Amino acid sequence: MKIKYFCCKFLVCILTWGVAPTLFHSCTNNDSLYKQGRFLYDSKQYSKALELFQQAANSGNSSAMNDIGWMYEKGEGVNVDFNKAMERYQKAAKAGSNAAMTNIGWMYDKAEGVSEDNVKAVEWYRKGIEAGNVDAIYDLAWMYENGEGVNTDYLKAMEYYQRAAKSGNAEAMNNIGWMYEKGKGIDVNYSKAMEWYHKASLQGISDATFNLGYMYEKGEGVNIDYQKALQLYQQASEDGNARAMNNIGWLYNKGLGVEKNNTIAIEWYNKSAKAGYANAFYNLGWMYHHGEGVTVDYQKAMELYQKAAVLDFGDAMNNLGWMYQKGEGVKVDFQSAMNWYKKAASAGSIDGMNNIAWMYEKGVGIKKDVHKAAEWYEKADKYKNQE
């Protein structure tokens, strides 16, 4: 979702001879105020920009109304106020701003100031599309891909991503690549995936650059090339991509394409963790848990696993269960171990599922139940086959 600039509609100026000059002056005046406001906004002079946006909005400029809503939504020059943002977006949409229609959809989608309502979000995204907003095309594609407000439909998602990409939306290009890589609604096609990732990367989408690096690391459609992967990860990391930072750490941790260096690995894991990436917290926890590049420190490991667990990282939950089961840094507590394994399983951890099965099979901390053990082993196998 981005602020869009829309020129003032000059059709209102083509009226009777006596009235036209006044309307033309009014139209160009509020358009001029808006442009001045945009210049100040882009210079991060938010308070001054807001003043000019308000003047332009009072003269009927729908883009100014939308941008005021954006500033309230993002807290730029004002305190965050979702209610005021929605109010401004509604006025702008009524005045014809297709960006505002899309932004209303976003607020329903993300539950900003309103209850989450994906059906309404889809409704507003459709209105935005009908009014000509490209961002709404991308947003609707996302809804179809993820089954939010509509049934999951990968073919529809691909159709809308293609439309958005044709209009220049680089994030859509990246997502088309992802669908080809993962075979979502279409056959896996690594060549097309790389083609679309490359297009998106050239337009500055760091996730696309990361995805290219991942394909070189895993040998998807190309020969494994760790050095090429590292180069692409470094490029993405320069744009603040936390996943790329984590994977640079992984390459150094495992000595893939570079000399193994756990000190450098930890530096990159820390950078990624500071950016809030769950996998990096998990990897740091593993380093402290097993003494890789640092002295074994179970308390530190638990602390880092817990941070990853808060971010819903299943394998971190599993490892917390393991530490309670083995008494690493804590007293042996089979009940806590089982609780963490169950949380891990709910988050998709195959190891968590297998550990629940093992505890039932062996009767560790729980009544032995071979039938439940078999059920959990089967769940783990099914989940593994779906990956």
Amino acid at 261: N
Distance of CA 324 to the CA centre of its chain: 33
% of the chain at pLDDT higher than 90: 90
pLDDT above 50: residue 185:
yes
| Band (5; pLDDT cuts 50, 70, 90) | very low
Q: Which CATH architecture has domain 233-311?
A: Alpha Horseshoe (1.25)
Work out the mean pLDDT of the chain and round it to a whole number.
92
Query: What percentage of the chain carries pLDDT values higher than 70?
Result: 92
What is the band of 385 on the pLDDT scale with cuts at 50, 70, 90?
confident
Same fold flag, 233-311 and 312-387:
yes
Q: What architecture is the 312-387 domain classified under in CATH?
A: Alpha Horseshoe (1.25)
In which region does residue 205 sit, left (phi positive, over 0), alpha (psi from -120 to 50) or beta (all else)?
Answer: beta
φ, ψ at 272 (rounded to 5°): -65, -40
Helices and strands in the chain: count of H runs, count of E runs: 20, 0
CA dist 285 and 281 (Å) reads 6
- Please, what's the b/e burial string for 307-321 (b: 16 or more CB within 10 A of its CB; e: otherwise)? bbbeeebbbbbbbbb
Structure token digits, residue 357: 């099965």
Domain ranges of the chain: 233-311, 312-387
Question: Each residue of 191-245: pLDDT tens digit?
Answer: 999 999 999 999 999 999 999 999 999 999 999 999 999 999 999 999 999 999 9
CB 273 within 8 A of CB 294: no
Cα separation of 376 and 379, whole Å?
5
User: What global pTM score does this model have?
Assistant: 0.84
pLDDT of the residue at 386: 77
